[in-house]
């Protein structure tokens, strides 16, 4: 069941490209081709404009909230090749940092899990992926993976933090050694997995299944199992679910979730990691859930965001 509980009129003057709730679902950040980023307080069904952030000189593609432990921090990336990190201090939002290290449109930003520190991955059309880390006191450390995806990186998504080698408790007090990993998708039709080793980012895996641009990737939140799950969607209309059961993380198997008739722009995992929201070029949003026998089934169509919910049976009639 999907029921609209709040309709936020953003007053953006052009196409909206992303809308993300903060960690607790109290605030909504939106960004648009009108070059602005807006933050709304949506608590209790409200929609109070908290901030209208201007600074980008091109369409803003994505916004990402940092883990709240680090404060109220929002990153935005734009066609203007910039990544801006915004921060709220004393109720006022200001630029905290502006990263201009990309040569082309920055298409995706994603903050790492809390355990990894304040680290932002940025994927750009210049083919590179940047890892921007706050090392404290407004010092930002940049690592760049050049030519990560030859003709452009469209999406990045972090792996949940898992202590290597175990789900067993580490001796308390000992600093666990988190393996930082993330996944990216690009115009080379590839899904790539990256891993930090000795401070260097290395390509860990290359997952091939898509026949066109990979539009989005999403690493599912950990639910305490050793299985890693990644969803990828593509211009080719296909959505794949990649899973890896072995601890070494080397064997990934792909399962086709569905082949849509249009480009699939975005995938998003629910916080508990068991539902996948897929949004496609036909303005259609579908929700998918894995059944007990491991098959993925569409559990509902979210109709044009209008709140009308159709069951699968009559879903066909709602296609545009």
Partner 1 sequence: MRLKEIQRTAHPAWSPAPHHPICLALGTSAQQLDASFNTTAALEIFQVDFADPSLGMKLKGSLPTSNRLHSLVWVNFGEGEDGLGGRLIGGSDNGTVTVYSPEAIVTSGAEAIIGQSDKHTGPVRALDFNPFQSNLLASGANDSEIYIWDLNNFSNPMTPGTKSQPPEDISVVSWNRQVQHILASANPSGKAVVWDLRKNEPIIKISDHSNRMHCSGMLWHPEVATQLVLASEDDRMPVIQMWDLRFATSPLKVLENHTRGLLSIAWSQADPELLLSSAKDNRILCWNPNTGEVIYELPTTNQWCFDIQWCPRNPALLSAASFDGWISVYSVMGGSLEAQQQSRADQISSSFDTMDPFGTGQVLPPLQVPQPTPQTTLVAPLKKPPKWVRRPVGASFAFGGKLITFESPKAPVQSPQPVPVPRQVFVSQVTTETELLQRSRELQAALQSGSLSDYCQAKIHKAPTDSEQDIWRFLLVNFEDEARVKFLRLLGFSKEDLERKISTCLGKNLQPNGHGVDANDLAEKIQLLSTQVNKEKKISFPIPVSAGTLLYAPVVLDADGLISQALLVGNFEGAVDLCLNEGRYAEAILLAISGGQELLQKTQQTYLEKQRNSISMLISSVVTQNWGDIVQSCALDNWKEALAALLTYAHPKEFAHLCETLGSRLEGERTEKRCLQACLCYICSGNIEKLVECWALQRDCSSPLVLEDLVEKMMVLRKSVERLRNSEVAVQSPVLADKLTHYAGLLASQGSLATALSYLPDTSDQTLLQTGLDVTCLSPVCSGFSPLQPFQPQQQPMSAGLGGPGLSAFPTGPAMPGSSLSGHPLPPFSAPGGLPTMPSPGPPPSGFTPTSLPSGPMPLSYQQPGAPVGMYPPGGSHLHSQGPPAGPPSGPYPPLGPGYPQGGPGAPAVKSFSAPSVAPPPTGTDHDAIHVLLPKCHPMPGIVALPVDRGSLRSVGPYRLTGDRTIKGMGCNLGHRPSVYQLLIGRQISNPCVSLQLLQALPAERVEQREIPAEHMVLKQTFDSLVQRCQLAAQDPQTKRKLDDASKRLGYLYDKLREHSLSNNILGGLHEISRCVAGQNYQRGLEVHTAVVTSSNFSEIQAFMPILKVVMTIANKLGV
> Binding of partner 1 at residue 82 (CB under 8 A)?
no
| Contacts of partner 1 in 19-58 (CB under 8 A) | 19-26, 28, 30, 32-33, 41-44, 48, 50, 58
Contacting partner 1 (CB under 8 A), which of 54, 68, 95, 165? Answer: 68
Nearer to partner 1 among residue 67 and residue 255 (C-beta): 67
Tokens for 118, please give them. Answer: 């304040």
Query: Which residues, numbered 160-219, are part of the site for partner 1 (CB under 8 A)?
Result: 161, 163, 167-170, 172-176, 178, 187-190, 211-213, 215
Q: How far is the CB of 242 from partner 1 (least distance, A)?
A: 18
The single-letter DSSP state of residue 254 is E
Closest C-alpha to 63, from 92, 32, 104, 99: 32
Task: Name the minimum Å distance from CB 288 to partner 1.
Answer: 11
Question: Interaction with partner 1 in 89-148: which residues (CB under 8 A)?
Answer: 89-91, 103-105, 107, 113-118, 125-127, 134-137, 147
- CA neighbours within 13 Å on the CB side: how many for 246? 6
User: Exactly one of 49, 52, 54, 70 binds partner 1 (CB under 8 A); which one?
Assistant: 70
Which one, 181 or 284, has the nearer CB to partner 1? 284
**CB nearer to partner 1: pick between 110 and 244:** 110
By CB under 8 A, residue 3 contacts partner 1: yes
User: Concatenated DSSP letters for 138-196?
Assistant: T-EEEEEETTSSTT-EEEEEEPPP--TT-SSPPPTTSPP-PPPEEEEEETTSEEEEEEE
Q: Which residues pair with 183 in a beta bridge?
A: 157, 193
CB of 177 to partner 1, least distance (A): 9
Least distance between partner 1 and beta carbon 230 (Å): 16
Q: Which tokens hold the place of 53?
A: 């952030």
8 A C-beta contact, residue 224 and residue 232: no
CB of 204 to partner 1, least distance (A): 16
Choose the stretch contacting partner 1; rule: CB under 8 A; options: 6-14, 197-205, 239-247, 252-260.
6-14
Stretch that binds partner 1, among 18-26, 195-203, 238-246, 311-319 (CB under 8 A): 18-26
Selected from 49, 52, 71, 251, the binder of partner 1 by CB under 8 A is 71
Within residues 267-296, the interface with partner 1 by CB under 8 A covers 268-272, 275, 277-281, 283-285, 287, 289, 292
- H/E stretch holding 13 reads none
Query: What span, in angstroms and rounded, lies between the C-alpha atoms of 266 and 179?
Result: 26
Spell 249-271 as b/e; 16+ CB within 10 A means b. beebebeebbebeebbbbbbbee
DSSP state of 72: S
Site for partner 1 in 230-249 (CB under 8 A): 236
Are the C-beta atoms of residues 196 and 183 closer than 8 Å to each other?
A: no
């Amino acid at each position: 069941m999907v029921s609209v509980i709040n309709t936020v009129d953003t007053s953006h003057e052009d196409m909206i490209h992303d809308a993300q709730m903060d960690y607790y679902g109290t605030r909504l950040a939106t960004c648009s081709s009108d070059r602005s980023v807006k933050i709304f307080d949506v608590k209790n069904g409200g929609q109070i404009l908290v901030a209208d952030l201007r600074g980008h000189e091109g369409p803003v593609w994505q916004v990402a909230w940092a883990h709240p432990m680090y404060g109220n921090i929002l990153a935005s990336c734009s066609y203007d090749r910039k990544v801006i990190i915004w921060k709220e201090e004393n109720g006022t939002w200001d630029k905290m940092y502006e990263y201009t290290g990309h040569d082309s449109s920055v298409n995706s930003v994603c903050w790492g899990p809390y355990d990894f520190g304040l680290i932002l991955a940025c994927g750009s059309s210049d083919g590179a992926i940047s890892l921007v880390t706050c090392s404290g006191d407004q010092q930002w450390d940049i690592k760049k993976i050049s030519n990560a995806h030859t003709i452009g990186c469209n999406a990045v998504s972090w792996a949940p933090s898992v202590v290597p080698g175990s789900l067993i408790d580490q001796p308390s007090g000992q600093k666990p050694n988190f393996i930082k990993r993330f996944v990216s998708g690009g115009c080379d039709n590839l899904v790539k997995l990256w891993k930090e080793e000795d401070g260097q980012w290395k390509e860990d895996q290359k997952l091939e299944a898509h026949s066109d641009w990979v539009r989005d990737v999403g690493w599912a939140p950990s639910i305490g199992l050793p299985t890693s799950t990644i969803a990828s969607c593509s211009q080719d209309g296909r959505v794949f679910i990649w899973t890896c059961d072995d601890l070494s993380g080397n064997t990934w198997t792909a399962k086709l979730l569905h082949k849509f008739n249009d480009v699939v722009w975005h995938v998003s995992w629910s916080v508990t990691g068991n539902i996948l929201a897929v949004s496609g070029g036909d303005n259609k949003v579908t929700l998918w859930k894995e059944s007990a026998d491991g098959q993925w089934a569409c559990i509902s169509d979210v109709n044009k965001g209008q709140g009308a919910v159709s069951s699968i049976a009559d879903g066909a009639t709602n296609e545009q």
